[in-house]
Amino acid sequence: MLDGIITGLGTLLMVAAVLFAAWWFTRRLAGSSQFGSRSRYMKVIDRMPVAQDRFLVLVQVGEKVYLVGVASSEITLLADMDQEPAPLQEADQASPAAVDFRELMKKIGRKNNGR
């Protein structure tokens, strides 16, 4: 019986070690991403995907801010600004366009049941 407990604890410790190693590796990999790297002279303020492999990127270099279009084969300067633009307001969660998930599922259920 003691052998079973020791084997179970050993297995549990091995699984915990593998999970910790996966977590650590993922954190290290995420920190070295293309836009997440650190620089002493430049800072990526924001990035927005426009299409597959195409992004709009706000880059700050010193006091200037640049809007850059990034594609897989080229980088294009779109605009330069003297200061960082103000953040946009988040959309209100209670907007009329918001859909109640429960009501939507009831409607779908009625259609499937022939009602």
Sheet holding 54-61, edge to edge: 42-51, 54-61, 64-70, 75-81
At residue 24 the predicted structure's pLDDT band, cuts being 50, 70 and 90, is: confident
At residue 28 the predicted structure's pLDDT band, cuts being 50, 70 and 90, is: confident
Sequence ranges of the domains in the chain: 1-32, 41-87
At residue 66 the predicted structure's pLDDT band, cuts being 50, 70 and 90, is: very high
Return the pLDDT at 45: 87
Give the range among 29-33, 47-51, 80-84 with minimum mean pLDDT: 29-33
For residue range 29-46, what is the model confidence (pLDDT) as tens digits? 765 555 555 678 888 888
**SS in 3 state form for 36-101?**
CCCCCCEEEEEEEEEECCEEEEEEEECCEEEEEEECCCCEEEEEEECCCCCCCCCCCCCCCCCCCH
Q: 58 versus 85: which is more confidently predicted?
A: 58
Mean pLDDT of 97-105: 72
For residues 99-110, one letter each, b for 16 or more C-beta atoms within 10 angstroms of the residue's C-beta and e for the rest, the string is eeeeeeeeeeee
Share of the chain above pLDDT 90, in %: 26
Interstrand relation of 64-70 and 75-81 (parallel, antiparallel or unpaired): antiparallel
Q: 54 versus 29: which is more confidently predicted?
A: 54
